[in-house]
Chains A and B, each alone.
Chain A
Amino acid sequence: MTAQPAYNFAYLDEQTKRMIRRAILKAIAIPGYQVPFASREMPMPYGWGTGGIQVTAAVLGPDDVLKVIDQGADDTTNAVSIRAFFVKTANVATTTRTTQATIIQTRHRIPETPLTASQILVYQVPIPEPLRFLEPRETETRRMHALADYGLMHVKLYEDISRHGHVATTYAYPVKVDGRYVTDPSPTPKFDNPKMSDCAALQLFGAGREKRIYAIPPHTKVVSLDFEDHPFERTRFDAPCGLCGATGIYLDEVVMDDAGTRLHVCSDTDHCMTRREAGFTGSEGAVAP
């Protein structure tokens, strides 16, 4: 811990970390329940995931190996900055490899590689309240959670179906955690919702601006809300990844050249790279670096 004496380890002072850890412990004890915490100013704007950063700072130890992803990529500006922040303030090892990481901070995606009991997944959450869009009053949403009065959530799904013929919500698709609290996995794509259920890793959610922390403990049942005659469906992609040929994973569409040629590739860049290193190729396989 001698790397940067100007900072306390992982930036936050120990008292703040204890406060955040207490909130995390409470969140783990009540799966899916939003625990208020005294969010601190961080040396970056809220949109950069200050809630997730504070949670990571509170659980990070010197021996941890940190991975940070934005969408599924480790190399975006946001992911690079957060990784650099923890290298500077905690001098921890970092990795892009899902299997080597002990803490993974994410802005959207859950890695394709199944997580293990020795890992923690930290989500950066912009809007933690799933009821917010229909009920702006905080006092009322709290009461609705307390009474498990969740009719409004299905009203949202009903509206989607009546307007689009199906549930059009593809991100931040609401879930019920451990049969009790309706929770917003925002802004994770609904493709990843099934991975939240019975996950071996601890999942922690931090919302900086809204000052909330919530958690899904390992092996907790997480159910995506739906109707009997319109069951939850995971987003399906028709084509395999153009680079590694993977199927059944989440794909991004990328523009390849000035002519506007489009290609579908793994959103999880580590997953794609690992496969290509193992010799898998897609239709554009020759472009592997």
Chain B
Amino acid sequence: MTPIHQPLLSARTLTHLYGHRVGCIDVDLDLYEGEVLAVVGESGSGKSTQLSLLSAQMEPTSGAVAYRMTDGVTRDLVALSQAERRFLMRTDWGFVHQDARDGLHMGVSAGGNVGERLMAVGWRHYGDIRAKASDWLGRVEIDESRIDDFPTQFSGGMRQRLQIAKTLVTQPRLVFMDEPTGGLDVSVQARLLDLLRGLVTDLGLAAVVVTHDLAVARLLSSRMMVMRGGRVIEHGLTDQLLDDPREPYTQLLVSSILQA
């Protein structure tokens, strides 16, 4: 078996409890290279907890998450040192926050924000960093003349695109997205989703997208997982699941979006 046929990220019986309150229970998943998984649910469903566990920002109460590192060796995330985990976050992983302010330095120019990850992994040529930042601004449809402007001067949609450029500049293999279009106007959302879809395809990214919005799941993901009360209640190919939901709860979610 060649490494490519092994999952990039996998979770087994992933469980997290906040005291007696359930975060998520018994989540199993395998994510392969280039695959986008949507985790769908309402607030309190456990989808955010799951994202924090998968991205090693929290340790599970029980169960495990494994990741196939760039050297091909699959490692248990809990066993990684803090330095290894941080290096992953800086290079092979990306995180797109719902609020761009959580992913950007608001007092640093657009170019400096995009260049940060490059500098963190050792880029030391100003001209190269600037050229790369400029290239990435273009890829997320921000005019290159805005390279020295601050995120505070950007609209909400532009900020989100800047955050995406900042995240993707080191060509991560896996990106975690937390409600990436949340809080934006509907027209802005559509453009952003379109852009994300293009980038994910072009770069062959694997992604875990947490969303309450089935339209986001439909546009971005190939597989989806529906969560309720901390458990995965349905899991399958996105198109199939949306066309023919088995669980009454999923049927309700789907019908409510179709009516909307």
Contacts and interface: CB of A to CB of B under 8 A. Distances in A.
Interface of A: 134, 143, 146-147, 149-152, 154-155, 158-159, 161-163, 227-230
A155 B112 contact: yes
A283 B31 CA distance: 76
Nearest to B105: A134
A168 to B, nearest CB: 14
A158 B82 contact: no
Dominant secondary structure of chain B at its interface with chain A? helix
Contacts of B125: 227-229
B23 interface: no
Nearest to A148: B83
A158 B115 contact: yes
A137 to B, nearest CB: 13
Contact of A154 (B109, B119, B127): B119
B119 A143 contact: no
A145 to B, nearest CB: 12
Interface of B: 82-83, 86, 90, 105, 107-109, 111-112, 115-117, 119-121, 124-127, 129-130, 147-148
Give the 6 A-B CB pairs with smallest separation, nearest first.
A151-B120, A154-B119, A227-B126, A151-B119, A228-B125, A147-B83
Contacts of B120: 149-152
A147 B119 CA distance: 15
B116 A155 contact: yes
Contacts of B107: 134
Dominant secondary structure of chain A at its interface with chain B? helix
Contacts of A229: 125-127
A119 B211 CA distance: 64
Contacts of A162: 109, 111-112, 130, 147-148
B90 to A, nearest CB: 8
A149 B176 CA distance: 21
B129 A147 contact: no
Given A143-B82, A147-B86, A228 B124 contact: yes
Contact of A163 (B83, B105, B148): B148
A129 to B, nearest CB: 17
17 contacts: A134-B107, A147-B86, A149-B90, A150-B120, A151-B119, A155-B105, A155-B116, A155-B119, A158-B115, A158-B130, A162-B111, A162-B112, A162-B130, A162-B147, A227-B125, A227-B126, A229-B125
Contact of A161 (B86, B105, B126): B126
Kindly name the residue among A158, A161, A228 whose own CB sees the greatest number of chain B CB atoms within 10 A.
A158
Kindly name the residue among A134, A149, A162 whose own CB sees the greatest number of chain B CB atoms within 10 A.
A162
A49 B130 CA distance: 40
Contacts of A155: 105, 108, 112, 115-116, 119
A158 B126 contact: yes
A227 B112 contact: no
Contacts of A158: 111-112, 115, 119, 126, 129-130
Nearest to A227: B126
B109 A159 contact: yes
Contacts of B108: 134, 155, 159
A133 to B, nearest CB: 9
A151 B83 CA distance: 14
A191 B101 CA distance: 37
A155 B117 CA distance: 9
B148 A152 contact: no
A155 B125 CA distance: 12
A151 B127 CA distance: 16
B191 to A, nearest CB: 28
B124 A152 contact: no
Contacts of A161: 126
Nearest to A157: B126
A67 to B, nearest CB: 38
A150 B120 CA distance: 6
Contacts of B126: 158, 161, 227-230
Nearest to A163: B148
A242 to B, nearest CB: 37
A152 B108 CA distance: 10
Contact of B124 (A134, A147, A163, A227): A227
A162 B110 CA distance: 11
Nearest to A228: B125
Given A154-B124, A229-B125, A230-B126, A149 B86 contact: yes
Contacts of B124: 154, 227-228
A147 B116 contact: no
